[in-house]
């Protein structure tokens, strides 16, 4: 699933490509991807709406539109947004541009396409079709439970070490806490593994057992690893692609995620993979105590 760095890169790139553009029309072969309202209403209401602002809240991409509307897209497990030009060839959408939009198989699962007023197309590619698309009145969206319950943004200036300590529950395994979107926004499986490796903390350690020094190391690692993810344009280990269709480069940096059976880059111990609450944890049993 795309996490904070991937969503942030997507938002920044979308601002360069589609900000101030207007929606002309929309196509889908999977109307259920639009969760609010019905697809027919969605298509009618979004026509001629101008994109005035694009921003991120947690893992949500939000387009603030003209007339007080907002478009929310959550890419879920395998979704990613693309900008380009496509044509329908014998019932299949095919990119007109040479390069990753055309050549990378992960960019071919187009289930939602928006036509824009400058001739560009905004497409949602989603292998498993779990993505969520909603159209809201902006004021209602900002007051909705789904937005208000998201925890603080870890890269905000006001996300201090004191704030970090305040939001932590009294008990719970630290990896699960880092991935809880109601506690802290945007961190998932990939970056929680890398954060805890950077901080030398075992993912199964209970937060109640962490010292002040260990909490400071986790806090510093959160900032460092997420910024590194953005700098390297996200992780394309699985399905994520940038809006150009190209891969991010965080794979070159990751130390433990999906490296089970390999040697720890710090001490040489074999990296382990264990389940934690239905998710996976990759870690070094020697370095991470």
pLDDT in tens, 10-38: 999 999 999 999 999 999 999 999 999 99
Name the average pLDDT for the chain. 97
* Mean local confidence (pLDDT), 166-192: 97
pLDDT score recorded for residue 133: 98
Do residues 84 and 125 lie in contact, with contact meaning Cβ atoms separated by under 8 Å? no
Q: Give the span between the Cα atoms of 76 and 45, in whole angstroms.
A: 24
pLDDT score recorded for residue 180: 97
Q: Please give the biggest Cα pair distance in the chain.
A: 62
The tens digit of pLDDT for each residue in 39-57 reads: 999 999 999 999 999 999 9
With the C-alpha atoms ordered 144, 150, 155, 157, is the resulting torsion angle positive or negative? positive
- Catalytic residues, by residue number, are 2-3, 59, 279
pLDDT score recorded for residue 171: 96
pLDDT score recorded for residue 177: 97
Cis omega (within 30 of 0) for bond into 49: no
Look at the pTM and tell me if it is higher than 0.85.
Answer: yes
Helices (H), 124-264: 138-142, 145-148, 161-167, 174-179, 189-199, 212-231
pLDDT of 91 > 90? The answer is: no
pLDDT score recorded for residue 283: 98
β-strands 34-36, 132-137 pairing: parallel
157: which 2 tokens? 């200036």
The residue ranges of DSSP E strands in the chain, in sequence order, are: 23-28, 34-36, 51-57, 60-65, 69-74, 79-84, 86-89, 92-95, 110-116, 121-126, 132-137, 272-276, 279-283
pLDDT score recorded for residue 57: 98
pLDDT of 1 > 90? The answer is: no
The tens digit of pLDDT for each residue in 209-231 reads: 999 999 999 999 999 999 999 99
pLDDT of 238 > 90? The answer is: no
At residue 58 the predicted structure's pLDDT band, cuts being 50, 70 and 90, is very high
Chain CA centroid to CA 4, Å: 5
pLDDT score recorded for residue 2: 93
pLDDT score recorded for residue 162: 97
Q: Could you give all domains of the chain from N- to C-terminal order, each with its CATH number?
A: 4-148 (3.20.190.10), 161-283 (1.10.8.50)
pLDDT score recorded for residue 116: 98
pLDDT score recorded for residue 64: 98
At residue 277 the predicted structure's pLDDT band, cuts being 50, 70 and 90, is confident
With the C-alpha atoms ordered 15, 17, 21, 25, is the resulting torsion angle positive or negative? negative
């Amino acid at each position: 699933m795309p996490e904070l760095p991937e969503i942030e890169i997507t938002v920044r790139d979308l601002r360069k490509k589609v900000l101030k553009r207007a929606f002309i029309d929309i196509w889908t072969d999977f109307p259920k991807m639009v969760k609010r309202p019905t697809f027919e209403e969605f298509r009618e209401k979004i026509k001629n709406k101008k994109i005035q602002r694009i921003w991120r809240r947690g893992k949500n991409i939000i387009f603030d539109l003209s007339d007080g509307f907002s478009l929310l897209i959550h890419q879920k497990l395998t979704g990613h947004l693309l900008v380009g030009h496509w044509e329908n060839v014998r019932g299949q959408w095919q990119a007109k541009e040479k390069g990753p939009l055309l050549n990378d198989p992960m960019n071919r699962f187009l289930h939602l396409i928006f036509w824009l007023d400058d001739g560009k197309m905004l497409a949602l590619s989603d292998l498993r079709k779990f993505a969520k698309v909603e159209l809201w009145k902006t004021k209602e969206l900002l007051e909705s439970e789904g937005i208000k319950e998201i925890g603080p943004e870890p890269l905000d200036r006001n996300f201090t070490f004191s704030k970090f300590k305040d939001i932590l529950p009294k008990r719970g395994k630290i990896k699960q806490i880092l991935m809880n979107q109601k506690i802290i926004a945007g961190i998932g499986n990939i970056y929680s593994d890398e954060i805890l490796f950077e901080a030398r903390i075992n993912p199964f350690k209970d937060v109640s057992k962490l010292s002040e020094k260990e909490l400071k190391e986790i806090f510093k690692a959160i900032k460092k690893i997420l910024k590194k993810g953005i700098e390297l344009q996200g992780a394309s280990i699985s399905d994520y692609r940038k809006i150009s269709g190209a891969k991010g480069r965080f794979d070159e940096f990751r130390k433990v995620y999906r490296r089970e059976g390999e040697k720890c880059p710090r001490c040489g111990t074999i990296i382990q993979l264990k389940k934690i609450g239905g998710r996976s944890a990759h870690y070094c049993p020697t370095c991470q105590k």
